[in-house]
Amino acid sequence: MANSLRILVVLPLYGGSLPIGRYCSRALSQAGHLVEVFEGPDFYPSYQGLDSLRVTSDRLEFLQNSYLQVVSQAVLAKVETFEPDLVLALAQAPLTRQALKRLRRDKVATAMWFVEDCRLFTYWQAFAPLYDVFAVIQKGSFFENLNEIGQKNVLYLPLAAQPDVHRPLDLTPAEARRFGSDLSFMGAGYPNRRLAFRELTGFGLRIWGTEWEGDHVLWPLVQMAGARVSTEDCVRIFNATKVNLNLHSSVDPKQAVGSGDFVNPRTFELAACGAFQLVDRRELLAEAFDQDELATFGSIEELKDKIAYFLAHPDEREAFAHRARARALREHTYQARMDRLLEFVSERLANWPRPRDAGELFAPDFPEDLRREIQGLVARLGLPADVSFKDLVWAVRRQQGELSDLDTALLFLDEWRKLYGKRPD
């Protein structure tokens, strides 16, 4: 497999996989790949605008599907321009079946990271066979179901943390007062969480996140009037809290503590922050962390007992958090996940990546001072030292702001090559 690849990351218009997609593109860039991002959220306002038309539901559905067809064509246009080695789509990315068939016909490798619960979001049944690789956060019968519909290249790829985002912080006294508490939860107010947290009001619980309206018991504990919390403030909350609650959503809203399989991103993010957490037991959790790295619970009574215990034992909280952070940094980063994904694609797809005309970055007669200047530009753009001339020009074009003299010269040289097929003498 090539050391440096061209990867197009296709983000959804909205939803929980959106930040995960951004972490993926960040990790891929940090690994030295040339990454272009299709910004699905740029198209979301227009998609939302269709709701204001006051038309019948069937007409609205038709318009929404038609709009998504246009967005999908925009992805194809991006592919034609960027010529990626791989198109990586996150769950609910705006790629239609027709677009995926077109990419397969054009021999463009595709992968989806389906970071959702397959039992609740079943659209994978229509789309999974059209991807070359399908990465998932669940195992068991999901693998069997995917094989039955023709998707043989299935990879278990659990979620992760981004270490330069999810990290320990030295909080100011003001930040510690604003975001700190003995016990807190950061997330949406799903029914099972409402049921569980009503039992915890005596612990000084603070709740952050959306969808908590209408609960007269818990609403007084909700911070910022239930507004969406930024990633930066989430990290501050994790760092400022003594005991972070991590209760997964349950398929059964009447069951406060469920028995699901996949591990949510909060588990890895809290660990990477060096923050102590109490997490409900999950079928796949033992593969990610040992018992002395994460404190777990299986019922509300056990949760209440462990909250009281760990609030009274700060040294044990710190020891758990330290071990969990070490494990997260060692194994559970987005760069590790992307490395594994690319390795899997290389294993499963013959002759991938396809050879391309890399082109030499320097002409033989380039003066030494110009070589050094170009090498400095390559480093500043975060590109690998062996980047091709074509990829360097692509990265220069993506920059914002005023072009430097060197940028302008490289773009001029690229246009010359397109016209005459070689660099000028």
CA atoms within 13 A on the CB side of 24: 32
| Residues linked to residue 35 through DSSP beta bridges, in sequence order | 7
**Tokens linked to 221:** 């504990």
User: Among 104, 93, 86, 80, which Cα is nearest to 38's?
Assistant: 93
Of 28, 17, 69, residue with least CA distance to 47: 69
Classified by CATH at the fold level, domain 173-331 comes out as: Rossmann fold (3.40.50)
What stretch of H or E contains 156? strand 154-156
Please report, in tens digits, the pLDDT of each residue of the chain (425 residues total): 557 899 999 999 999 999 999 999 999 999 999 999 999 999 999 999 999 999 999 999 999 999 999 999 999 999 999 999 999 999 999 999 999 999 999 999 999 999 999 999 999 999 999 999 999 999 999 999 999 999 999 999 999 999 999 999 999 999 999 999 999 999 999 999 999 999 999 999 999 999 999 999 999 999 999 999 999 999 999 999 999 999 999 877 788 998 899 999 999 999 999 999 999 999 999 999 999 999 999 999 999 999 999 999 999 999 999 999 999 999 999 999 999 999 999 999 999 998 866 556 666 667 788 778 888 888 788 777 777 787 888 888 878 778 888 888 888 887 887 777 654 44
**Phi/psi of residue 404, nearest 5 degrees:** -80, 170
Gap between the Cα atoms of 127 and 89, Å rounded: 11
On whether the CB atoms of residues 91 and 12 are closer than 8 A, the answer is yes
Pairing relation of β-strands 277-280 and 110-114?
Answer: unpaired
Secondary structure element (H or E) that encloses residue 111, with its range:
strand 110-114
Alpha helices in 106-154 (DSSP H): 124-127, 141-148
| Helix axis angle, 231-240 to 265-272, nearest 10° | 60
Per DSSP, the three-state class of 272 is: helix
Residue 296: phi, psi to the nearest 5? Answer: -125, 165
Is the link from the previous residue into 424 a cis peptide, with omega within 30 of 0? Answer: no
* CATH entry, 6-160+334-348, from 3.40.50.2000, 2.30.40.10, 3.40.50.720, 3.40.50.970: 3.40.50.2000
Of residues 243, 236, 244, the one with CA closest to residue 172: 236
State if pTM tops 0.85. yes
Q: Does 173-331 match 6-160+334-348 at the fold level?
A: yes
Residue 335, token pair as written in the block = 């760069």
> Which has the closest alpha carbon to 203: 347, 106, 307?
307
Give residue limits of the domains in the chain. 6-160+334-348, 173-331, 368-420
Four-point Cα dihedral 396, 397, 402, 405, nearest 10 = 50
Q: Please check whether residue 210 is in contact with residue 190, taking contact to mean a CB–CB distance below 8 angstroms.
A: no
